Amino acid sequence: MRIIRVGLMADPASPTDIAAPMSDISPPEGEDRDTWDVEVVSEPFTTGSENVDIALERLADHARQHKWDVVVGLTELPLRDENGRYLLVHSDTQRQSAVLSVPALGGFQMQTRARQAGAMIRTCGWLSAG
C-alpha cells in the first residue's frame, strides 16, 4: 500500500464550492488499495481565453510545487475537443493531470455529478503514482 497525494485545484467561486466537499474522495476498492491524501486548493489556474493545454501545464506546475502525484483542476471554462464539441474532462496522462469543466456538469446536482466524474477519472487507471 502506498500514499498517493492528490491535488484538487479549483478556480475561485463555484469550482471551489464544488471541490471543497470532495476532499474525502478515495481510490477504487481492491486488494492492494492505495491511500489517497487529498488536498483542495482554491486558486485561479485559468484565464478566460486560455487554451486547455496551458491550463494542464499550469496544473502540472502546481503539482510539482505541492508535491502532488496527480492533480485535477476544476474550472468554469467550457472545454472543447478539436471538433468543437463540449467536454466534461480533458486529461493528460503524461502530466498526471486533468481539467474538469463545471459548466458541463449542468445546473442541477452539480456536487453529485462532480463526484461521479471523480469516480470516472479514478477508475480510468491513470491516477497512480507509479
Domain annotation for the chain: domains and CATH numbers: 3-123 (3.40.390.10)
Cell numbers describing residue 128 = 497512480
CA-CA distance, 66 to 7, in Å (whole number)? 8
In angstroms, rounded to a whole number, what is the distance separating the alpha carbons of residues 106 and 111? 10
Query: Alpha helices, DSSP H only, in the chain?
Result: 14-19, 52-66, 110-123
Cβ-based neighbour number of residue 51 at 10 Å: 10
The three cell numbers of residue 48 are 478566460
Whole-model pTM? Answer: 0.78
* Tens of pLDDT, residues 58-114: 899 999 999 999 898 998 888 887 788 888 788 888 888 888 888 877 765 555 556
Q: What is the pLDDT of residues 26-68, one digit of tens each?
A: 766 655 667 888 899 999 887 665 678 888 888 999 999 999 9
Residue 103 main-chain phi, psi, to 5 deg: -60, -30
Can you tell me the distance from the alpha carbon of 130 to that of 123, in angstroms, rounded to the nearest whole number? Answer: 15
DSSP-assigned beta bridge partners for residue 91? 98
